[in-house]
Amino acid sequence: MTKRRIVRILLYTILTLLAVLFAVPLVVMVVTSIKTPAEVVNVFAWPQEIYWANYIKAFEIIGRGLLNSMFITVPSVVISAFVGSLGAYPLSQFRFKGDYAVYMFLLAGLFIPIQIVMIPLFQIMRSLKLYDSFVGMWLVHTVYGIPICTFYLRNYFATIPRSLLEASLIDGCSIAGYYFRILIPLAKPGFAAVIILQARAIWNDLLFGLTLTRSDFVRPVTVELATFVGQTDVQYGQLMAATLLSILPTIIVFLIFRRQFIEGVLGGSVKG
């Protein structure tokens, strides 16, 4: 057996063990979600029969929250990705005085902890009459999503040759026309990666949901999950069922765009 083969076997063994290690919590969560309250205490034991009541009760509690999270996530992702691409376009395709300073200014938004602006943000939302509203959540998530969207799309746009822009302008295409007709279609993998990353971040957000929403009409699913944890009692079966229901949308989005996501993360190096 050659040294290279031994290294490969060792590598795959380590990766398999790590995969099992990461899969154990997920398996425990799925198994716990179909157990009766009496069976939950035996964490690693299989249930005697499937207890669907956990999912029924969980959906009754978080059903509205799932819908609210969709209403919050979809517009926020679309707006932040579009606005971020508008900033990434000139930063990647044109050279002008101060472009690097503008780029660094936008990136500074990535390093501002959300916690230190929560009090003024809450006051601003109240003064603008946007507290406990979908519009307010769209605005907040868009503002905090623009830096990462601009950063990522700027780097992806930079992989597209500038000669394509020059040729398009010579042929009579406008700057806006190049953006909408050529750049966006070529950057679909980059947009797919940004959409997945931004959708996951917004869908899993808890801090903004706790701080800027109050009513059941707007409150996202992450806040609704907290209602399963009481001061003296925790319904672990219902909690695990609700958690599985809450992560299904993000899993579905990833499965739909997984190929484009990989291409986008690799900066367009994989073409299909």
Structure confidence at residue 172 (pLDDT): 87
User: Is 58 within 8 Å of 241 (Cβ atoms)?
Assistant: yes
Domain boundaries, the chain: 55-264
Mean pLDDT of the region 48-61: 90
pLDDT at 269: 43
Predicted pLDDT at 72: 95
pLDDT bucket at 1, cuts 50 / 70 / 90: low
pLDDT digits (tens, 9 = 90+) for 82-132: 999 998 898 888 887 877 888 888 878 778 888 888 899 999 999 999 999
Query: According to the model, what pLDDT value does residue 230 have?
Result: 65
pLDDT tens for 221-269 read 999 888 777 656 778 888 899 999 999 888 888 888 777 777 776 654 4
Position 271 scores a pLDDT of 41
- Structure confidence at residue 231 (pLDDT): 53
Cα-based distances in Å from 159 to 173, 190, 193: 20, 11, 15
**pLDDT number for residue 117:** 87
Cα–Cα dist 216/254, whole Å: 28
Task: Encode pLDDT of 151-207 as tens digits.
Answer: 889 888 988 888 888 888 888 888 889 989 889 988 888 898 898 889 999 999 999
- The token duo for 58 is 């969980």
Per-residue confidence (pLDDT) for residue 235, from 0 to 100: 82
Both tokens of residue 251?
Answer: 């899993």
**Right CATH number for 55-264 from 3.60.20.40, 1.10.3720.10, 2.102.10.10, 3.40.630.10?**
1.10.3720.10
Listed in sequence order, the DSSP H helices in the chain are 3-33, 53-93, 99-107, 118-127, 134-157, 162-170, 175-178, 184-186, 188-203, 207-212, 221-225, 236-265
Mean pLDDT on 211-227: 90
3-state secondary structure of 234: strand
Report d(CA 36, CA 241) in Å as an integer.
12
Residue 17 has which token pair?
Answer: 């063990």
pLDDT of residue 267: 59
Global confidence as pTM: 0.84
Nearest to 77 by CA among 23, 144, 8, 166: 144
Give the closest residue to 203 by CA, choosing from 109, 81, 68: 68
Given a contact cutoff of 8 angstroms between Cβ atoms, the answer to whether 146 and 109 are in contact is yes
pLDDT band at 71 (very low <50, low <70, confident <90, very high): very high
Q: Is 113 left (phi over 0), alpha (psi -120 to 50) or beta?
A: beta
CB 157 within 8 A of CB 178: no
Tokens 């993998």 identify what position?
189
